[in-house]
Amino acid sequence: ASEGIAEQIDIETFREKGERIQRGVEALRATLAEVAPDVLVIVGDDHHEMFSEQLMPAFTVYRGATVNAVPPPEEKIFETVKPAAWALYGDEPETYAVDADLAVHITRDLVAAGFDAADMTSQHEGQSIGHTFIVARTRLTDVSRPMAPIVPILVNTYFTPNVPTPSRCYAFGKALGAAIERYDSAQRVAVVATGGLSHFVVDEQLDQQFLAAMASQDEAQVAALSPSDFVSGTSESLCWLAVAGACLHRTMEVVDYVPAYRSPAGTGCAMGMVRWT
């Protein structure tokens, strides 16, 4: 582990970093509220919630009229996760409206651009969309009010052998952004990703390289990101690359970056809050 980590393992540092993270998330929530999008395109990964080992597409666009978010039974939630379960899964089942017309347009445009995205129209009974999408609802929107219709974009970041490379995710995002720009509608569309950054071992050097590559809008810097670094929880950062590509003509701002260590060995989760305007 890097030097200086042990000095960050105390309750006061935990509290300080926790407060920074909450302020960063609140800043993103405020930005989204100010933008007041008509549609939210949410890019997230799947932890075998919608898919399984039987079938795991690299990229999927969901176009059902609605999609369900269902909290798991309490006995299936890890004890250490229970304090944050409200954010990961919501307190109650909820049905999100989906902008199916935009979803169909995106899929057709992606295919025309060389991305053979899978097309998904429904869920099995009792199935829930993944917590990466639910977090966008619980942390970035006002849960006391209905959420704007969404378009879920699922990226397989976890499960080999067909995890797309960082460059492929960035190119996918560029095609996604172009598709949204070409959509013949006056709707205001926001693109969101959740997950990441490095975890469950914090890698500050990788995170800074990753953030710099996204901010640069330089395909060579993105190509320099090694696929072998994007495994386990860190792989969720690939969804950010898709959003970076979609926001190609906008300026990226790092609201905050917090390496939240849990142990002297360097375990923990690096928390990043980024917006494009």
**Looking at residue 113, which CATH number applies to its domain?**
3.40.830.10
pLDDT of residue 149: 99
Residue ranges making up the domain that contains 98: 6-276
* pLDDT tens digits along 130-186: 999 999 999 999 999 999 999 999 999 999 999 999 999 999 999 999 999 999 999
Per-residue model confidence as pLDDT tens digits over 201-259: 999 999 999 999 999 999 999 999 999 999 999 999 999 999 999 999 999 999 999 99
The average pLDDT across 6-34 equals 97
The answer to whether residue 1 sits within a structural domain is no
Element (H, E) at 254: strand 252-261
pLDDT in tens, 25-60: 999 999 999 999 999 999 999 999 999 999 999 999
- Residue 2 in this model has a pLDDT that exceeds 90: no
How many domains is the chain partitioned into structurally?
Answer: 1
| pTM of the model as a whole | 0.97
What does the DSSP 8-state code read for residue 233? G
Kindly report each contact of residues 6-15 with a partner whose C-beta sits within 8 Å and lies 24 or more positions away, as own/partner: 6/264, 8/261, 9/261, 9/262, 9/263, 9/264, 14/260
Cα distance between residue 276 and residue 55, in whole Å: 33
Which band of pLDDT confidence, cut at 50, 70 and 90, is reported for residue 1? Answer: low
Q: Find the helix or strand (DSSP H, E) in which 96 lies.
A: strand 94-97
Give residue-wise pLDDT tens across range 89-112.
999 999 999 999 999 999 999 999
Is residue 88 scored above 90 in pLDDT? yes
The per-residue pLDDT of the chain, averaged, comes to 97
Please check whether residue 42 lies inside any domain of the structure: yes
Instruction: Tell me, yes or no, whether 213 lies in a domain.
Output: yes
